[in-house]
Structure 1
């Protein structure tokens, strides 16, 4: 099971550690956070105790209104479940009673200056990506006109060279050679790099280049949603090349189907230009436009 440590979260969001500093290596394995408002009121059915617990103004203000005895009971009922940590938002103060219980139970108590809504959004996105199921495949990942594309093909077919041409046209590299695919929801896959190859592109006969150093920061982005799977293959005369519309094909990654297109290579073909056309055509289809439907309507009008 994938996990991140409390220290990873502290470092990522520059959190202040108020208590439990000796337990920062504890693991977080759940991708969403929880606000224990109902639990402070005494309702514990469906308590997501294995999640990071967020304490906003409503929770802290409620605790402030209680007597010392009531407050101790309410806090004690929650900490006995040993959640991974508590995060107090908006730099709220008056937390000595929380610090006492967290120290006793070995639960990190953290604090951020961010608002509750903003911090929950940030940490939910972070945990969703860090804890997402992932696979690594051989290929290149690029972003073309804002469209995330996985570029595949046999070794030596020209994936990295094609990516280099696309970068020269103003598009962005995400990953070369090893592409990390993360399933961040039942319908969405993100492509990224493995860290070691960040910003690097391997070109045969030249070697490694750093695209950000050569072409500027806009030549690289850290991740992209994968919406197209393009495979570069050798030209085959037996395959028809003048279809009005190809039958939809898909490649499945972690139970998610991604539209799959093959581009055949031949000397003189503008492969990068064809990939740009594929990206733009996908975008138009998402907007409800089909060039084939448009053509057929024109034909019908001519017949009439």
Structure 2
């Protein structure tokens, strides 16, 4: 199971440490935060104790209004489950009693100036991506007109060279050689690099190039949602047909099915142009348009 430490979270959002600094190595393994409002009034039937606990104005104002005895009871009932950490939003103050409990139980207490809604949005997005299941795939990932494409094929088939042509046409590199694929949901795969290869593209006979240094910031982006799986393969006569509408094929990654297309290579064939066409065609299909259907309607109209 993937995890990050509270220290990593604190650095990512520049959080102020109020208590439990010596316990910042505690692990976070769940991707969504929780606001323990119901738990402060004694309802624990569905308490996600292993999630980051966020205390907004409602929770803190409620605690402020309690008697010392009531407050000690409510806080004690929550901290005894030892969640990874507590984060107080909106720079709220008067937290001495909370600091004492967290220090005693070894739970980091952090604070941010962001509002609760703003911070929860950023926190959940970060945790979802940081803790997402992932695999590494040999290939190239590019963003073609806003559409994430995974290029696969045998070593030396021309994946990186094709990516270079796409970059020259104004599209963006995401990852070369090793593509890290993260499952964000049952329908979403995010493609990114492994940091080591960030911005680098390996071209045979040329060597490594830094696409940002050569072509500017617009030539690279850190991540993209992958919606097309394109396999580059050697040309085989009569292996591919020319039907009006090919039967859809998919490739499965971590339980997520992605549309699959095979493009065979041949000298003089504009592979980069075909990838652009495939990406734009996928986009039009998402809008409900089918070129084959329009063509058949025209044929039917002429026959009538």
Shift of 1:243: 1.8
Shift of 1:238: 2.3
Shift of 1:213: 1.1
Corresponding residue for 1:218? 218
Corresponding residue for 1:169? 169
1:194-227 Cα shifts (integer Å, max 9, x gaps):
1100011000011111111111111111110010
Corresponding residue for 2:11? 11
The count of residues paired between Structure 1 and Structure 2 equals: 304
Shift of 1:241: 3.9
1:240-284 Cα shifts (integer Å, max 9, x gaps):
442211111000101111000001111111111110000000000
Q: Partner of 2:83: helix, strand, or coil?
A: coil
RMSD: 0.7
Corresponding residue for 2:190? 190
Q: Partner of 2:274: helix, strand, or coil?
A: helix
Q: Partner of 2:242: helix, strand, or coil?
A: coil
Corresponding residue for 1:245? 245
Corresponding residue for 1:29? 29
1:160-217 Cα shifts (integer Å, max 9, x gaps):
0000010111111000000000101111100000110001100001111111111111
Aligned pairs for 1:51-130 (under 5 A) are 51-130=51-130
Corresponding residue for 1:136? 136
Q: Partner of 2:82: helix, strand, or coil?
A: coil
Shift of 1:117: 1.0
- Distance in 1 of aligned mates of 2:173 and 2:34: 36
2:146 is aligned with 1:154: no
Q: Partner of 1:43: helix, strand, or coil?
A: coil
Shift of 1:121: 1.1
- Distance in 2 of aligned mates of 1:123 and 1:195: 22
Corresponding residue for 1:292? 292
- Distance in 2 of aligned mates of 1:187 and 1:161: 30
Q: Partner of 1:102: helix, strand, or coil?
A: helix
Query: Which ranges of 4 or more aligned residues in structure 1 deviate by more than 3 Å?
Result: none
- Distance in 1 of aligned mates of 2:14 and 2:47: 27
Corresponding residue for 1:303? 303
Q: Which runs of 5+ in 1 are unaligned?
A: none
